[in-house]
Amino acid sequence: MVASISIQEIDFNNANAVWDGIMSRTTETSIFQTFRWQKLWLEHFGQDASLIVLQLEKENSPIGIAPMMVSNKKLSFIGSTDVFDYRDFIGAHHLDLNDFDAIIERLKDWDWDEINLQSIPEDSPTYSILPGLLESLGMAVVVKEEDVAPISILQSDWDGYVSELPRKYRHELRRKIRRIERSYDLVEQEIVSEDHSDEDTDEFLELMKSSSSEKLEFLTPAREQFFREMVKLFSASGDLKMHFLKLDGNRVASCIAFDYGSKYLLYNSGFNPSYYSDSVGLINKAYCIRQAIDDGRQTFDFLRGAERYKYDLGAENRSLFEIVARR
């Protein structure tokens, strides 16, 4: 017997409790799907979006949320690819064909011409089920690989992780760490979380801006303000950690990682280009992986992008997909 499905539109601002409840019952989720992250994005960038938030229930129990918005006749998930690495239905891994069908039927009530769903992980039922469903409803559907989000499965200890790297990368990493430890009197990893200060954020952003022209261009005033508030919000809960590499007391590289569930997620990074020859950016990220292992995490997620250092540190690709459908 198929369980009855009910869908109701809910007010985003009052959705926190049910949203968090659904998130707590699934392991296949990310920081970007939290209510807090999506609320923060809406406060900074979503002023012109028309929200549609649908709550899906079976047997009077909430099992999923469709966090949608309409802008310029396009229906999409809340968010944008510049600061969201993943987007999906909340509770997607617990939804089946009938659930997706019910969501799409309800979404037809709104005025839109195109569905544009981005940054869907390859293991999501949204990717495996939704395109075929949309085609069966007579829509023209295009699915394409949007990007990659490389990940590493962690070993139980750091030496074991390094020993599993391909020979070339293993040798290079060990050589670079030995060289930096010989070149400086004191090599430290400093981790800042709940006790972070505005000065820590200032220093992270300066290192990020100085590390490449692309990151300098990316950090517009609006995105920088988003970053500052994001750091405060997620540091306070212990979900965000700033990792600084210090050489003889000087912070020369930084990265932000989310410690979320069984995973570390590497969100962004920077370094002082004066120390480029010391490979400080790579070493700081390696130390971040070491900390994730020490904390007992199972996966290190490098998030969006195919930068070379991710593969030097043992990552393997996982695809992100975009689904576009017109009615």
Q: What is the pLDDT of residues 30-52, one digit of tens each?
A: 999 999 999 999 999 998 889 99
Residue 85's beta-bridge partner residues?
A: none
Residue owning tokens 């499965």: 153
Tell me whether residue 192 is exposed, middle or buried, using C-beta atoms within 10 angstroms of its C-beta: 0 to 12, 13 to 18, 19 or more. Answer: buried
Helix/strand/coil percent split, the chain, to 5: 40, 30, 30
Tokens in use for 301? 């997620």
Residue 57's beta-bridge partner residues?
A: 6, 62
**CA-only gyration radius of the chain, Å:** 21
Of 124, 123, 120, 104, nearest in space to 112 by CA: 104
Give the integer Cα–Cα distance in Å for 160 and 317.
Answer: 21
Q: In CATH, what number does 151-301 get?
A: 3.40.630.30
Q: What percent of the chain has pLDDT over 90?
A: 93
Predicted confidence at residue 10, as pLDDT, reads 96
Give the integer Cα–Cα distance in Å for 217 and 125.
Answer: 35
Write out pLDDT tens, residues 250-283: 999 999 999 999 999 999 999 999 999 999 999 9
Please tell me the pTM assigned to this model.
0.95
Of 94, 168, 163, nearest in space to 124 by CA: 94
Question: pLDDT band for position 287 (50/70/90)?
Answer: very high
Predicted confidence at residue 195, as pLDDT, reads 83
Predicted confidence at residue 2, as pLDDT, reads 58
Contacts for 38 with CB less than 8 Å, ≥ 6 apart: 32, 67, 78, 79
Give the integer Cα–Cα distance in Å for 68 and 253.
Answer: 37
161: Cα separation from own chain's centroid = 23
Give the integer Cα–Cα distance in Å for 312 and 172.
Answer: 9
Tokens in use for 151? 């990940």
Q: Do domains 5-147+320-326 and 151-301 have the same CATH topology?
A: yes
Predicted confidence at residue 3, as pLDDT, reads 67
Q: Any idea where the domains of the chain sit in the sequence? A: 5-147+320-326, 151-301
The reply to whether CATH 3.90.550.10 applies to domain 5-147+320-326 is no
Give the dihedral sign, CA 19/22/24/29: negative
Question: pLDDT band for position 27 (50/70/90)?
Answer: confident
